[in-house]
Amino acid sequence: MALAASVTGAFAAPESAAKSKAPLDAVASDPAKLGWMVGSPPPANRILRFDDGSYFQFPALRWSVSNFRQLMPTMNVSRGLGAPVPLPRAERDDIDSVSFTPLGGSQPMTWAQSLPANYTDGIVVLHRGRVVYERYFGVLKEGGQHGLMSVSKSLAGTLGATLVAEGKLDADKRVSEYVPELSRSAFGSATVRQLLDMTTGIRFSEDYADPKAEVWQHAAAGSPLPKPKGYTGPRSYYDFLQTVKPQGRHGEAFGYKTANTDALGWVIARATGRSVAQLLSERIWQRLGAEQDGYYTVDSIGTPFAGGGMNSGLRDLARFGEMLRNDGVFNGQQILPKAAIDDIRQGGDKGNFAKAGYKLLPGWSYRDMWWVTHNEHGAYMARGVHGQALYIDPKAEMVIARFASNPVAGNAANDPTSLPAYHALARYLIATPR
Dist CA 228 CA 288 (whole Å): 42
DSSP, res 89 = B
- Does 270 bind a second copy (CB under 8 A)? Our answer is yes
- Among 50, 330, 403, 422, indicate the residue that binds a second copy (CB under 8 A): 50
Judged by CB under 8 A, the stretch of 7-15, 48-56, 341-349, 426-434 that binds a second copy is 48-56
- Asked if 269 is part of the footprint of a second copy (rule: CB under 8 A), the reply reads yes
Is 278 a binding residue for a second copy by CB under 8 A? The answer is no
Question: Which residues, including other chains, have CB under 8 Å from residue 50's CB and lie 6 or more apart?
Answer: 3, 4, 71, 72, 225
Nearer to a second copy, 128 or 227 (CB): 227
Rounded Cα distance, 138 and 115, in Å? 12
Please, what is the minimum distance in Å from the beta carbon of residue 384 to a second copy? 21
User: By C-beta, is 131 or 419 nearer to a second copy?
Assistant: 131
**By CB under 8 A, residue 71 contacts a second copy:** yes
At 66 the three-state DSSP class reads: coil
Window of 12-20, 67-75, 203-211, 373-381 that interacts with a second copy by CB under 8 A: 67-75
* Distance, CA of 322 to CA of 124 (rounded, Å): 12
Asked if 302 interacts with a second copy (CB under 8 A), we say yes
290 versus 421: smaller Cβ distance to a second copy:
290
Q: Of 150, 189, 236, 418, which one is the catalytic site residue?
A: 150
User: Minimum distance between the CB of residue 135 and a second copy, rounded to whole angstroms?
Assistant: 17
Q: Which x/- pattern, by CB under 8 A, does the window 219-238 give for a second copy? A: ------xx---------x-x
Contact between 45 and a second copy (CB under 8 A)?
Answer: no
Does residue number 75 form part of the binding site for a second copy (CB under 8 A)? Answer: yes
Least CB distance to a second copy at residue 47 (A): 5
- Closest distance between a second copy and the C-beta of residue 219, in Å? 16
Which parts of 236-265 interact with a second copy (CB under 8 A)?
A: 236, 238
Cα separation, 10 vs 215, in Å, equals 8
Show contacts of 353-358: CB within 8 Å, 24+ apart: 353/254, 355/252, 355/253, 355/254, 356/14, 356/253, 356/254, 356/255, 356/256, 357/14, 358/14, 358/15, 358/412
Question: Interface residues for a second copy in 145-184 (CB under 8 A)?
Answer: 145
Q: Please report, to the nearest 10 degrees, the dihedral formed by the alpha carbons of residues 97, 101, 103, 105 taken in order.
A: 120
Q: Which stretch binds a second copy (CB under 8 A): 18-26, 44-52, 323-331, 371-379?
A: 44-52
Whole-number minimum distance, CB 4 to a second copy, in Å?
A: 13
Using CB under 8 A as the binding rule, whether residue 42 contacts a second copy is answered as: yes
* Contact flag: residue 293 with a second copy (CB under 8 A): yes
What does the DSSP assignment read for 355-402? TT--TTSTT-EEETTEEE---TT--EEEEEGGGEEEEEETTTTEEEEE
76 binds a second copy (CB under 8 A): yes
Residues in 109-148 at the binding interface with a second copy, rule: CB under 8 A: 142-143, 145
Contact 261/296 with Cβ under 8 angstroms? Answer: no
Regarding 73 and contact with a second copy (CB under 8 A), the answer is: yes
Quick one: which segment of 27-35, 42-50, 254-262, 380-388 binds a second copy (CB under 8 A)? 42-50
**How does DSSP classify residue 145?**
-
User: What count of Cα atoms within 13 Å lies in the side-chain half-sphere of residue 256?
Assistant: 31
Instruction: With CA atoms as reference, report the closest residue to 174 among 314, 79, 273, 270.
Output: 270
Q: Is 282 in the site for a second copy (CB under 8 A)?
A: no
Q: Choose between 271 and 425: whose C-beta lies nearer to a second copy.
A: 271
How many residues bind a second copy, per CB under 8 A? 43
Sorted by sequence, the CB contacts under 8 Å of residue 250 that are 6+ apart come out as 189, 190, 191, 194, 199, 200, 201
Q: Phi/psi of residue 168, each to 5°?
A: -85, -15
Task: Establish whether 223 is a catalytic residue.
Answer: no
CA quadruple 382, 66, 74, 308: dihedral positive or negative?
Answer: negative
**What is the number of residues in the chain?**
434
Residue positions annotated with a catalytic role: 150
Residues in touch with a second copy (CB under 8 A): 37, 40-42, 47, 49-52, 69-76, 78, 80-84, 142-143, 145, 225-226, 236, 238, 266, 269-270, 275, 291-293, 295, 298, 300-303
